[in-house]
């Protein structure tokens, strides 16, 4: 697989997000199978893997560390801090915590769980309004000087916050939700990334599975699946948003591809500094999604897609209000 640069950090042009191996889509899969899929993604060319202390909490970092240990020198591992998680019990409290002393504790614990000496890319998971971003960037700068962190990132941050952080410690990557049905980063964040030489990492590039064309109004969503509480996954929203999936299906047929591949290829065509990270529990889906890198969307294709999307009114907020409140601060 080709590589792209997030700032100065070289990674595969498509990355693998491992949150789906936590219990966000229902019961977690068998550990051995999860490890097989993660290692299989590397065999297929992925060198960029994404996790977070909050996934579990903690269990996902342990899983990723075990899966990637034999190939540690061949991969880039990104993890995140920022939620208020009790360091003794692992219980997640309601709220954020990016106090410098807490960030240090989290980094030390993440290093141990991942079984690595250095975190390749460390994101602030959400901006903490109680802690000046300069203080957050400052502690990451210190951790970088100590060899515990290589690169600094922010997730779901506003453009003004990114600029302030970058002035203290260079920001390598911004990770925010971005896809054909979630385009919030376009007005301010993507132009700023281009200006400052920062990479952009879309999470949920396939709309939590909706843009794959495998979910419709009749699809059953279990109560322990986070999508059961998502405004975009109500039956009414799914019915209203079917027009976007129908568009992807039509384009995919013309390109001899799948809707998921078109959704990812669209992101790759948007800018050379964009590296989407998708998640799945199935190795065949990993292989399918990586096929997006072989699809070329021309300028004409992109214009036609843009024109068609302009006529589609996406229904439903991208996240529940309780979660959405932490974004773009």
3-state secondary structure of 137: helix
- The whole-number average pLDDT for the span 61-89 is 96
Cα(270)–Cα(32) distance, rounded to whole angstroms?
Answer: 36
Confidence of residue 27 (pLDDT cuts 50, 70, 90): confident
93-97: long-range contacts at Cβ-Cβ below 8 A with a sequence spacing of 24 or more?
96/126, 96/127, 96/128, 96/129, 96/130, 96/326, 97/128
Quote the pLDDT of residue 235: 96
Whole-number Å distance between alpha carbons of 122 and 150: 8
pTM across the whole model: 0.97
- Domain 3-207+272-295: give its CATH architecture: Alpha-Beta Barrel (3.20)
pLDDT given at position 91:
85
Can you tell me the distance from the alpha carbon of 154 to that of 168, in angstroms, rounded to the nearest whole number? 13
Q: What is the pLDDT of residues 190-230, one digit of tens each?
A: 999 999 999 999 999 999 999 999 999 999 999 999 999 99
Mean pLDDT of 300-322: 96
Chain-wide mean pLDDT for the chain? 97
Q: How many CB atoms lie within 10 A of CB 277?
A: 23
Choosing from 55, 123, 178, 210, the catalytic residue is 55
- For 35-54, how does the pLDDT look when each residue is reduced to its tens digit (9 = 90+)? 999 999 999 999 999 999 99
> CA nearest 20: which of 302, 265, 288, 281?
281
**Domain boundaries, given as residue ranges, for the chain:** 3-207+272-295
pLDDT of 15 strictly over 90 = yes
User: Is the per-residue pLDDT at 297 higher than 90?
Assistant: yes
In this prediction, residues 129-155 reach a mean pLDDT of 98
Query: pLDDT grade, residue 25 (50/70/90)?
Result: confident
- pLDDT tens digits, one per residue of 245-263: 999 999 999 999 999 999 9
Q: What is the pLDDT of residue 93?
A: 86
Give the percent of the chain with pLDDT over 70.
Answer: 100
Query: Is pLDDT of 28 > 90?
Result: no
Region 174-185 average pLDDT: 98
Reply yes or no on whether 55 is catalytic.
yes
Give the pLDDT confidence of 92-131 residue by residue, as tens digits.
888 999 999 999 999 999 999 999 999 999 999 999 999 9
Strands (DSSP E) contained in the chain are: 3-6, 9-12, 15-17, 48-50, 76-81, 83-85, 92-96, 119-124, 149-155, 171-177, 199-203, 277-278
């Amino acid at each position: 697989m080709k590589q792209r640069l997030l700032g100065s950090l070289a990674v595969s042009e498509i990355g693998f997000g491992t949150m789906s191996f936590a219990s966000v889509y229902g019961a977690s899969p068998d550990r051995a199978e999860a490890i097989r899929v993660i290692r299989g993604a590397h065999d297929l060319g992925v060198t960029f893997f994404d996790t977070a202390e909050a996934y579990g909490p903690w269990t996902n970092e342990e899983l990723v560390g075990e899966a990637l240990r034999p190939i540690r020198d061949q991969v880039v591992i990104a993890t995140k801090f920022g939620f208020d998680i009790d360091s003794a019990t692992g219980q997640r409290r309601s709220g954020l915590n990016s106090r410098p002393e807490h960030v240090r504790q989290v980094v030390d614990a993440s290093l141990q769980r991942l079984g690595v000496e250095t975190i390749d890319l460390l994101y602030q998971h959400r901006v903490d309004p109680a802690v000046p971003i300069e203080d957050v960037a400052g502690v990451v700068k210190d951790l970088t000087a100590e060899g515990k962190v290589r690169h600094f990132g922010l997730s779901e941050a506003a453009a003004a916050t990114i600029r302030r952080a970058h002035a203290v410690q260079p920001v390598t990557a911004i990770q925010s939700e971005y896809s054909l049905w979630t385009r919030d980063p376009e007005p301010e964040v993507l132009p700023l990334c281009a200006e400052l030489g920062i990479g952009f990492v879309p999470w949920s590039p396939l709309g939590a599975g909706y843009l794959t064309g495998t979910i419709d109004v009749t699809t059953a969503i279990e109560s322990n699946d986070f999508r059961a509480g998502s405004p975009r996954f109500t039956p009414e929203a799914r019915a209203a948003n079917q027009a976007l999936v129908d568009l992807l299906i039509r384009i995919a047929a013309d390109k001899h591809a799948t809707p998921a591949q078109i959704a990812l290829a669209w992101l790759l065509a948007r800018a050379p500094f964009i590296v989407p990270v998708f998640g799945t529990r199935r190795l065949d889906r990993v292989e399918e999604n990586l096929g997006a890198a072989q699809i070329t969307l021309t300028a004409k294709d992109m214009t036609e897609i843009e024109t068609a999307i302009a006529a589609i009114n996406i229904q439903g907020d991208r996240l529940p209000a309780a979660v959405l409140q932490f974004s773009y601060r």
